[in-house]
Every structure is written in structure tokens, then in C-alpha cells.
Amino acid sequence: MREGSDDPPPIAASEDWANEGAPSLTASEREAHLRAVSDACCGDDASDEAPTTTLNLRGCPDANAAIDRLLARCRPRLPRLRALNLEFALRVTDDRVAALARCGTLRRVNLNAAQHLGDAALDALSDNNPHLERVSLYWNVRVTDPAIVALCARCANLERLDVSGCKRLTDGCAAAIASLSNLRRLNLTRCRLTDDGLRAICLSPRVASTLEHLNLYAAPCVTSKSLRCVAACDRLTFLDLCGAARLDDDALRDVAEGCPNVRSLNLSWCPNVTDRGLLAVAKRLGATLELLSVHGNRNVTAVFLEALGAEAASAGRLKTLDARGCDAATSAGGERLTTPEALRKIVPSIETFVHHT
């Protein structure tokens, strides 16, 4: 995507926690679902101790009306919900989410691409549900720093936070995110945090000791000054640095040495990375990586691919390697080493050769 585009950032397929895997329901399925939800969590025999019901309005064309019908069925009691999915729901407003938030039992909330929702909805959710564990706000263009600060302050058990494409967020929310002591997954795709914000998060002892998934896809305002601080998060198993235009070899070496548990590493479209930084990746992570993308990096040569093969071939763990566009990677005889056939000779365990479409 071009810089400054209003197009939504991608939802990474490997981060299904943001999507929760819930399907969009047909109109008849949705009505049956609403009845089942009202029976399960609004009836006289509903359990306050173990709310387990999910309200799935994913892709609903009139979510406000559906919420109104549910609340009418549940009167005078509020539905006791564990999870709320409003991903891509239409015609949903802050006041309806606030009405559901008053249940006080929510643990997982998915507001992906529900673009009419803003700070008021998020404030109501965090104010009434202190045990929230997962919040996904992909492509929300209304939420601002104060709402994220309040969320982090009120919901100390937050484990997963997706603010991908939340273009109003700034460094003003970084300290609040850095205060979380149970954060395991963080998606900052296309966020406009600067080096100061990213450093505050990655160098927080609390975050560094718990974070396992970090997505910095197309983060336009960060440089190697803060990207090298990712090395402090030594429990990372998933790291996406796709489009890190200012990532250099020294920072990449620091990350490879500091994050020995990374299994999925996306380095697509990192134009300043050369074999020098990638050799550290091969040496430190080659035997344990399961997915690696260097797609579109014109500085990649046979030197890196051969070094990767020396580490990865015997381990047999690397299943996905995307080296398309690495035109400088040729053999002494001029053979392209980035074709599936050539790559499989270098690392026989590879099954998938395309990570980016």
C-alpha cells in the first residue's frame, strides 16, 4: 500500500487472535444466534460465575438493531457476555456498545473495522470490564490516545492488543502500553509511533518479559534507533518488520542475537538490509525459524541463502521461505537461486514459497 493511503492495513493471517475466527452469519442464522444468546446469558438460570457466551455480530448490516433486539429480550437483566465480536459490523454506535459493556463480564472484544466506534465505546468497555484480556481495534480511525491510556490503566490483565491502522494514535499512548505486565501480543501495523514510543514499549521490563508476538508491519515513523530495541523482547516468537524502510544491518543483527526464540520473521521490503545483517539471522535463527520472508529485498545474494541452508537444512524446521524479488541471488553460473526448485535444493524442508500476495 502507498504511504498515506486510507486503505486498511492487512490482517496478518498468522495472527488469528485478532479475528477470533468467527464467521459472518446470514440473517436467519443471526436471529437464531440472538435467541440462543438471550437464552444462555439472560435467563433465570444463567450463571454469573461462568459467563461463556459470545455475541457474534461480525459483518452484521445493522448491528444497532440487532443489539436492541437482544437487549429487549433480556430485559430487565443485561446479557452476561464473555466475548463480543463486531468485526466489520455496520450501523453500530458508541451508545449500543456502551449498553452491552455494562454487563461487566467481557474478556474478549473485537471491534475490527467498526469505524463508527470511538473513544466513548472503548471507555465504556474498559470502565465496566476490568478483566478484559483481548481487544482488537484494527482499522479504527476514531480512537485516540486517552482511550488507550484508560484501557491500559483499567485493564491490567490485557494480554492481546491490536491497534493496527489506528492512525490517530501517537507516542501519547506508548507509556500506557509499556505499563502492561501480561501483554503477549501487540499489533502496531501502520501506527505512527515514533522512535520514542517504540523504545518506551520495547524497553519496558514488563513488556519485554512477556511479549511473544510483535507486528510492526509498515510502521512509517520508526528507525533503527528504536528497531534495535526490539532485541530486549527476548521471548518473541513472531516478529513482523515488513516495510521497515529504515531498518539497517546493525539493528537486524541486534534483533537476531537478542530474540533467539523467533520462529516467524517477516523482513519483506526492508531495502537497507544486506547480507551482513541477514547472515546474523542465518547464524542465530537459521536452525529454529519456521517462516522467513525476505521478499523484495534486492540486496540479498547467494551468500545469505547458502548460509541459511547450512543452518536450516539439517534442522528441517523451515517450512516457508519467500525470496521472490531477490534478483541478486544467483549462483556462480548465473542460475537464479530464488525459484522453488533452487530453494528446495538449499533447504529441502521448504513447502511454501509465497508469504506475501
- Do residues 155 and 228 share a domain? no
Query: Strand 134-136 and strand 264-266: pairing?
Result: unpaired
Same domain, 231 and 169: no
Angle between helices 275-285 and 249-258 (to 10 degrees): 10
Neighbours of 296 (CB within 10 A): 20
The whole-angstrom separation of Cα 61 and Cα 74 is: 22
Q: Which of 158, 185, 212 is the last residue of a domain?
A: 185
Q: Are residues 271 and 155 in the same domain?
A: no
User: Both 176 and 228 in a single domain?
Assistant: no
- Give domain status of residue 243, yes or no: yes
Q: Are residues 175 and 236 in the same domain?
A: no
Q: Is residue 239 located within the same domain as residue 181? A: no
**Dist. CA 166–CA 173, nearest whole Å:** 12
Kindly report the CATH number assigned to the domain that includes residue 83: 3.80.10.10
CA distance readout (Å), 122 to 51, 188, 222: 21, 18, 27
Whether residue 47 is contained in a domain is answered as yes
Q: Over the stretch 245-272, which tens digit does the pLDDT of each residue have?
A: 999 999 999 999 999 999 999 999 999 9
Residues 53 and 167 occupy one common structural domain: yes
* Contact call for residues 95 and 123 (beta carbons, < 8 A): no
For residues 160 and 228, state if they share a domain: no
Please check whether residue 298 lies inside any domain of the structure.
yes
Instruction: For residues 288 and 352, state if they share a domain.
Output: yes
Query: What confidence score (pLDDT) does residue 42 get?
Result: 77
Q: What is the pLDDT of residue 40?
A: 86
In whole angstroms, what separates CA 53 from the centre of its chain?
24
Helices (H), ranges, the chain = 27-42, 63-74, 94-101, 119-128, 145-154, 174-178, 195-202, 205-208, 224-227, 249-258, 275-285, 302-312, 340-346
Same domain, 51 and 167: yes
Domain holding 259, by residue range, is: 223-357
Q: What is the number of H-type helices and E-type strands within the chain?
A: 13, 11
pLDDT < 70 stretches in the chain = 1-21, 43-52, 357
Predicted pLDDT of residue 39: 87
247/338 same-domain check = yes
Does residue 100 belong to any structural domain of this protein?
Answer: yes
In a domain, 357, yes or no: yes
Q: Is residue 316 part of a domain?
A: yes
DSSP 176: H
Domains: count for the chain: 2
Length of the chain: 357
- CA–centroid distance for 262 within its chain: 15
pLDDT given at position 2:
38
How far is 76 from 316, CA to CA, in rounded Å?
A: 59
Residue 181 resides in a domain: yes
Is residue 210 in a domain? no
Q: Hey, is 171 helix, strand or coil?
A: helix
Residues 147 and 234 in one domain: no
